[in-house]
Amino acid sequence: MIKIFEMFSGYGGASFALKKAGIKYKNIGFSEIYQAAIKCFNTNFPHVKNFGDCSKINPNELEDFDLLTAGFPCQPFSEAGKHKGINDTRGTLFYDIIRIAEIKKPKYMVLENVKGLTFSNHTNTLKTITDEINRIGYNFKYRVLNSRDYGTPQSRERVVFLCAQKSLNKVIKFPEKTPLNLFLKDLTLKDVPKEFYLKPSHRKFVKDLFPTKDLLNQDHIISVAIRNKNRAKHQSKGLKYGAFPVELHLRFNRDYGVSYAVKSSRHEYMISDMNLNGIRYLTPEECFRLMGFFNDEIDLSSISKTAKYKLAGNGWDINLFSQIFSSFLT
């Protein structure tokens, strides 16, 4: 049985992934400060202690464990952030992972972040991270993985670090890529409330931005990227600023049935194009399906709609990580 400690746990993606992989495990605790995430974790995994702010954890108060997992804060390295890297106060939380691992010495660590961590402007940050992992006695490999290459119909790229104690002499393996045989259309709900559909004036705005012939092409999945600017452009279209909270930049995914990456705000979510009059936001439940919960295995009843979007956008694709755990731990 694998004993796991989840840092920056979110909704408990690592625990869900272990369960999906069929690996016997015991969660000895988690570390999370976002209240909605704590509620969701406790709903799905009752009686597991939250140790709260990781910077205040005394490692000696933790039960021994085999696996440390952490999706440490990604904003310092994100394309959407300011790229401050390890100098961002959120980036320095990485050192709390190192501090705890150095004392508790788990056999394995699985760490995750946005692919921006591997960009050239973060070369020094990446070297600092890998040097620290090596210093405290771990062999490791890291790789940028895309969910779509492992059976999840979402183009979501994340860098994953697999770390094993040097004394184990373990061969570190990433999972083999798998064919995509599940598509966005397989995960969408049949009866979606009207609140998720664009109003006629909004649809007109979308049509003005992109040629109708493109919108009507059934082989396209429409996604929406958001920018908080160009108020004048809204007004020139006859819309009050706020009719759409932000400017829309629509893109078309010509790989039918694969969504763009799930984001952490409703207004950053993909618009699913069933037909021109049926353009809508994905529901929170659909977003969680795109995070590997193909059969709605997570109980979201304790949190708000806004929180559901945020947790989905910041969470782990449990389908991908179930394969990572199967390859790495077994």
Q: Taking the chain (330 residues) in consecutive chunks of 10 residues, what is each chunk's mean pLDDT?
A: 98 98 98 98 98 96 98 58 45 88 98 91 89 97 95 91 98 95 83 79 59 44 44 43 39 56 63 56 88 97 94 95 97
Q: What is the pLDDT of residues 289-323, one digit of tens each?
A: 989 999 999 999 999 999 999 999 999 999 999 99
- Give the pLDDT of residue 154: 86
On whether both 238 and 277 belong to a single domain, the answer is: yes
In 3D space, the residue among 26, 32, 43 whose CA is nearest the CA of residue 9 turns out to be: 32
Total number of domains constituting the chain: 2
Q: Give domain status of residue 132, yes or no.
A: yes
- Give the pLDDT of residue 196: 83
What six digits make up the tokens of 308?
A: 């559901």
Q: Give domain status of residue 163, yes or no.
A: yes
Q: CATH number of the domain at 56, please.
A: 3.40.50.150
- Give the pLDDT of residue 48: 98
Q: Give domain status of residue 298, yes or no.
A: no
Domain enclosing residue 268, as ranges: 190-282
Residue 3 gets the label, from left (phi > 0), alpha (psi -120 to 50) or beta, of beta
On whether both 271 and 198 belong to a single domain, the answer is: yes
- Write down the catalytic residue from 54, 74, 163, 287: 74
Q: Give domain status of residue 287, yes or no.
A: no
**Bridging pattern class, strands 25-31 and 2-7:** parallel
- Give the pLDDT of residue 153: 87
On whether both 121 and 230 belong to a single domain, the answer is: no
Q: Are 193 and 166 in contact (CB under 8 A)?
A: no
In 3D space, the residue among 24, 12, 272, 290 whose CA is nearest the CA of residue 150 turns out to be: 290
Q: Which residues of 77-95 are buried (b: 16+ CB within 10 A; e: fewer)?
A: beeebebebbebeebebbb
On whether both 107 and 219 belong to a single domain, the answer is: no
- Give the pLDDT of residue 297: 97
Number of helices and strands in the chain (H, E):
11, 10
Q: Give domain status of residue 306, yes or no.
A: no
Q: Are 9 and 41 in contact (CB under 8 A)?
A: yes
Terminal C-alpha separation, the chain: 11
Our answer to whether residue 40 is catalytic in this structure is no
What six digits make up the tokens of 132?
A: 């620290």
- Give the pLDDT of residue 89: 39
